[in-house]
Amino acid sequence: MSEIIVIGHETPVDRDEGIRHLERRGFAIRQTRPDQGEPLPPVHEHTAGIIVTGGPQYVSDLERFPYLRDEMAFIGTAMEAGVPLLGICLGGQLIAAQLGATVDFHPQGHVALGYYPLHVTEAGKDWLPDDLMVLAGNAQGFSLPTGATSLATGDVFPNQAFHYGATTMALQFHPEVTRLILDQWQDELAGNIGKPGTQSLAEQDRGFAQYNNRLTDWYRSFLDRFFKRP
């Protein structure tokens, strides 16, 4: 059976929309938690793709989170092997860092938490609709790596999506979140609400009700295209 490796960095209260969809399509999901001491699995002929998910860790603090170095090396190996690789939020930042880009806090201390418009580049129109509203929850962002193609920009953090080569994609936003996961974030990230760039709980709730179904639909179609069955 074809396998998708999912590298996690926190314990979600719910299975995310991407994992659910890939399971429905018949993929085996192999999850691992390097932050809990679990090893990174080998990539083999049945590996159909890799997803590196988000989390509370900071790429700019590798001394505190040393396992992220191992993940970056793993990302480099996956890219060299041409395995479809998707990074979401922290995962996208790790891809960017492995490619030599800068990952750090917003220079004015802004934080993204809520639903924001995505500004799709000309190259991004092949992957993203023009008027997609996306969920973000991040205090750090990435610069665009040399050789990467920008697919979308944003108002709080400028770089929101890029691809590198034919098999690597990085997203700063979150298309995988369920209502239960957003509830978890609103509890765990409550201290960020009110910082420049963030939305109130009421704005986040309205955003989920208004925009999240379309974001989920886009993500499912993206996964169908990006991770192909052999």
Tokens describing residue 204:
């986040």
Q: Which two tokens stand for residue 169?
A: 């994609």
Asked if 176 is an active-site residue, the reply is: yes
**Residue from 9, 21, 89, 106 carrying the catalytic annotation:** 89
Contact between 193 and 178 under an 8 Å Cβ cutoff? The reply is no
Largest Cα–Cα distance of the chain, in whole Å?
48
- Residue 24 makes CB contacts below 8 A (sequence gap 6+) with none
Q: How many CA atoms lie within 13 A of 149 on its CB side?
A: 16
Helix runs in the chain, H state only: 17-24, 67-81, 90-98, 179-188, 201-226
Which residues, in sequence order, are bridge partners of residue 116?
Answer: 134
Of the residues 9, 21, 163, 174, which is catalytic? 174
**Each residue of 57-89: b (16+ CB within 10 Å) or e?**
bbbeeeeebebbeebbebbeebbeeebbbbbbb
80 a catalytic residue: no
- Among the listed residues 3, 17, 71, 176, the single catalytic one is 176
Residues designated catalytic: 89, 174, 176
